[in-house]
Amino acid sequence: MAIHMSREELIEEEKRLKDEIEKRNGKSVEELYREREKRIFDAMQMKEPDRVPVMFFDVPLLACRYAGLPFSTAYYDGSAWKAAFKKMFADLEPDGWSVAGRESGVALEATGTNCTLWPGGNLPPDIGNQVLEKEFMKEDEYDLFLGDPSDFILRVWLPRVYETLKPLAKLPPLMNLGTNIAMISTLFASEEFMQMAEAMKKTGEATLKWNSEIGRVDREMAELGFPDTQMIARGGVQPPFSSFSNNFRTYRGVVMDMFRQPEKLKAALNKMVDYRIATATPAVKVKGKPAIGGASEPHRVSDEFMSSKQFEEFVWPNWKRCIDATFDLGYDAVSMFFEGQRDRQIEYFTDYPKGSLVILFEKTDIFRAKEVLGDRVCIMGNVPFSLLQVGSPQDVEEYCKKLIRVCGKGGGFILANSGGIYDAKPENMKAMVDSVKKYGWY
């Protein structure tokens, strides 16, 4: 079922999508948008919509696969990628989507990143992006970080993460500068600083160009009748554990720190939360729509990675602070992605008001989650990657049918793939969408 079109054919086809969608549905794209958005927001607010909504979560590379394009398209050819993305949605017609484009491959090249592998750059064109986890903060550097996090990030962390920013390590501590800027001015006249400035200029120009190519994808998807479900929220206060593990100490590092220097680990996490709360911005309200913020603690806190005792000590206090702070900013609901298995964590979320949380589950027992949280939390998920990759359309339909009948009972459920996916059979994605139209009506 995958389409195979040249880049030029794909972009030309994009121009005809609106007419095709309206002809197929007998409605304008504006009507379809309003229907889908209401369906999604009703489910999020624990109301019973006309039927169970279905969404695609984090599928930019899947759009390349669908169109027969290499994954590198999502990093180097914004126009072709956007056309493929829109074509996939126009053909399969889920109710909504979340997470769109990738970064500019040219910009990534210019930064000399040490933490990312991407197709068409430092990976072959058809291999999915990967994260390189490195210890960018050493175990004996907590005092440096805690003493002045911004100085540490500027002079220590950034030069380790990006090759082009290595000259920043030669800057003196910023607290020592006062008004004597002349003491560092000679650094900026050096060859290595001028090369760094040129690399950052190239990065900025590439990013601006890339944003001009894909930056309107939200609006253009809306013009075809597909709302963004805002599962990756654009506001709120994000908890610190996973990001600190991923970007600073690594998983191995934080595990060792939990045993060897737990108080310093907690102090660093607290410092990050304090800063994030202090710099967070209030919710932007749009009449008739719930304001959805994010406070998602991803994979590093799942049941596979830590014990309940460790979760209680190192994760939950700050996570709860971030959720509460997000509500304090004026958000009506908080969206979260529970990567991995979270069977030991779901009881922590039973005390929040009805309709105030939206949770996408990956490997958690979603049927138990429905039992525990189903009267107050909108549950999303969790069609597995493996089923969409290697199962048959009949297998997908049967699993979705069970999800709809159990988790969809009484409303508050959105059918979705269980996380980012780039290699699924198109006919299986269609079977997922078709299942709600067959079994999901209330």
- Running DSSP on this structure, what letter comes out for residue 413? E
Structure tokens, 209: 């160009």
- pLDDT tens readout for residues 369-398: 999 999 999 999 999 999 999 999 999 999
Give a yes or no: residue 363 inside a domain: yes
Among residues 64, 59, 42, 60, which one has the least CA distance to residue 51?
42
Model's pTM, two decimal places? 0.94
Per-residue pLDDT, averaged over 112-119, amounts to 96
Helix axes 262-279, 316-328, angle to 10 degrees: 10
Task: Answer yes or no: is 38 within a domain.
Answer: no
CA distances from 300 to 135, 329, 350 (A): 15, 26, 22
Q: Is residue 408 part of a domain?
A: yes
* Tokens 């997908």, residue located: 396
State residue 307's pLDDT score.
96
E strand spans, 256-318: 292-294
Q: Which tens digits make up the pLDDT trace of 290-315? A: 999 999 998 899 999 999 999 999 99
Q: What angle do CA 347, 353, 358 make, to 5 degrees?
A: 70
Cβ contact 272:314 at 8 Å: no
Task: Reply yes or no on whether the pLDDT at 4 is more than 70.
Answer: no
265-279 burial, b if ≥16 CB within 10 A, otherwise e? bbebbeebbeebbee
**Residue whose structure tokens are 């590198």:** 72
pLDDT in tens, 26-61: 999 999 999 999 999 999 999 999 999 999 999 999
| Residue 14: per-residue pLDDT | 72
Is the predicted pLDDT of residue 13 greater than 90, yes or no? no
Considering the domain boundaries, does residue 19 fall inside one?
no
The structural domain count of the chain equals 1
CATH number at residue 341: 3.20.20.210
User: Considering the chain, what is the average pLDDT of its residues?
Assistant: 94
User: What is the structure's pLDDT at 88?
Assistant: 96
Alpha-carbon gap, residue 2 to 238, rounded angstroms: 37
Q: Which domain holds residue 248?
A: 219-439
pLDDT the model gives residue 1? 42
Instruction: Grade residue 335 by pLDDT with cuts at 50, 70 and 90.
Output: very high
Q: Among candidates 228, 229, 222, which has minimal Cα distance to 29?
A: 222
Domain annotation covers residue 68:
no
Burial class (CB in 10 A: 0-12, 13-18, 19+), 218: middle
Question: What's the rounded Cα separation, in Å, for the pair 410 and 400?
Answer: 16
Reported as type and span, the H/E element at residue 337 is strand 333-338
Closest to 170 measured CA to CA, from 187, 185, 183, 186: 187
The per-residue pLDDT for 299 is 87
The residues, any chain, with a CB within 8 Å of residue 434's CB and separated by 6 or more, are 397
Strands 116-117 and 130-131, how do they pair?
Answer: antiparallel
- Residue-wise pLDDT for 24-35, tens only, equals 999 999 999 999
Cβ-Cβ contacts under 8 Å for 234 (sequence gap 6 or more): 294
The predicted-structure confidence for 236-284, as pLDDT tens digits, reads as follows 999 999 999 999 999 999 999 999 999 999 999 999 999 999 999 999 9
Inside any domain, residue 298: yes
Q: Flag whether 338 is in a domain.
A: yes
Which amino acid type is present at position 317? P
DSSP H helical segments within 360-422, as ranges?
Answer: 366-373, 385-390, 393-407
Beta bridge partners of 305: none
User: Does residue 16 fall inside a structural domain?
Assistant: no
Predicted confidence (pLDDT) at residue 85 exceeds the cutoff of 80: yes
Q: What is the mean pLDDT of residues 412-430?
A: 95
